[in-house]
Structure 1
């Protein structure tokens, strides 16, 4: 079985804690190249890692906060003006994605959403618990708990015989058990160490549920300064910008 490579292009929170870039993961599989989330700093991360932007066929979005979709207008602008993209791009995520994306594009660059691009942009709004084929990738969203104006998702993606799962932003919910089940890699947010707040998951709560998450490998991400200061004492594997995992 051929290797699937998972790169943390950005592993940070919305406020740049620890100098980390906002959420963006790049997956390179034999049959596909795609991003999971595309925070506002994504273009910096992609260029830092030397990733071919034109080879990216799809962007999968968990929810519609700026640190998870804010890089898409820049990605599209770069594709039009710099990378000279000609191949189609699929952007898939929760209901409300198309409107929120158009609004974001026009706030950042007025008129951008109406520009006739050299390449096709296809927006797919995903339904929860319904597998959807995006090229060679099957994506199944699960609703989680994170107030963002439209339904927030955790995502389970299958490609080339591997299953990748990501919590998105959420407080603890039983949905995560289904998302992580038998995944080769489960990436999960851990915003604070032990402080419990609405809409986010803390490390202590995650650790208490670890045995329920029957995944092969668990890596935590989206960490605040509080969480980053405790990394020397934690037992779970954690993300860093530029970290690559071979599956």
Structure 2
């Protein structure tokens, strides 16, 4: 395989507006495969798309809201049941291991999942690049609920760059996340309503000429955006969509 593909597993907001699953994007590159976020309902989508979880090298978590990482325990539980030996990196803001451990204890008490897997918990490197064998991750803090430790990320793999805003209101950091990205995935929860911690389409249009992406994909639509889709000038995500880079 020489191409890098991005499959939209889920692109809904916290309330699964429009029946879309929670946020999750599957990146398949020539020598690596990753998940960008894994929201609470995303594991259903992973199965529906026929993705072999055993081949996934890393899960990259943008922030600690349930619609972005709440599906991780289900994935880990099944992999432990399959006696997975392959290492799996979980890359996140600080406290990722502690939060996922507590989630597993609440959802599946006594399962002892983490002890059964070869997990590598890694945290974002402030002002630096996290290197792996076949991909690299750069993360930047963004403007969302502070307690969730929100970040946007840039993933470099297979000679391609994918930028992902995570959840955020407008911040100049988006200019860096989008710069020269082969695909920039940007949340756009609202059309014109101004809600703290989220982007709206009117704001995106105002700054669009500063976002020097090669291709843009809008995501995380709420009901307002769904109702205004016929007014959009940009491409947007839907569950099951595949993009070849």
CA distance in 1, matches of 2:161, 2:226: 27
Query: Which TM-score applies when normalising by structure 2?
Result: 0.96
Q: What do the CA deviations read for 1:55-112 (whole angstroms, capped 9, x no partner)? A: 101000100110011000000011122x442211100010121111111111111234
Conservation of the 8 A alpha-carbon contact between 2:39 and 2:66: yes
Unaligned runs of 5+ in 1: none
Q: Summarize the alignment of residues 43-192 of structure 1 with structure 2, pairs less than 5 Å apart.
A: 43-81=43-81, 83-113=82-112, 116-117=115-116, 119-192=117-190
User: What SS does the corresponding residue of 2:147 show, helix, strand or coil?
Assistant: coil
Could you tell which deviates more after superposition, 44-53 or 119-128?
Answer: 119-128
User: What SS does the corresponding residue of 1:79 show, helix, strand or coil?
Assistant: helix
Conservation of the 8 A alpha-carbon contact between 2:86 and 2:118: yes
CA distance in 1, matches of 2:229, 2:129: 35
CA distance in 2, matches of 1:102, 1:115: 8
Aligned twin of 2:6: 6
Conservation of the 8 A alpha-carbon contact between 1:22 and 1:42: yes
Conservation of the 8 A alpha-carbon contact between 2:65 and 2:148: no
Could you tell which deviates more after superposition, 126-135 or 101-110?
Answer: 126-135
Query: Which TM-score applies when normalising by structure 1?
Result: 0.96
Aligned twin of 1:16: 16
**How many corresponding residue pairs?**
245
- The structural deviation recorded for 1:113 is 5.0
Could you tell which deviates more after superposition, 167-176 or 150-159?
Answer: 150-159
- The structural deviation recorded for 1:135 is 2.8
CA distance in 1, matches of 2:242, 2:113: 37
Conservation of the 8 A alpha-carbon contact between 1:64 and 1:148: no
Root-mean-square deviation (Å): 1.4
- The structural deviation recorded for 1:2 is 2.4
Is 2:231 aligned against 1:229?
Answer: no
- The structural deviation recorded for 1:130 is 1.1
CA distance in 2, matches of 1:115, 1:103: 11
User: What SS does the corresponding residue of 1:78 show, helix, strand or coil?
Assistant: helix
- The structural deviation recorded for 1:54 is 0.4
Conservation of the 8 A alpha-carbon contact between 2:186 and 2:218: yes
User: What SS does the corresponding residue of 2:15 show, helix, strand or coil?
Assistant: coil
Conservation of the 8 A alpha-carbon contact between 1:64 and 1:150: yes
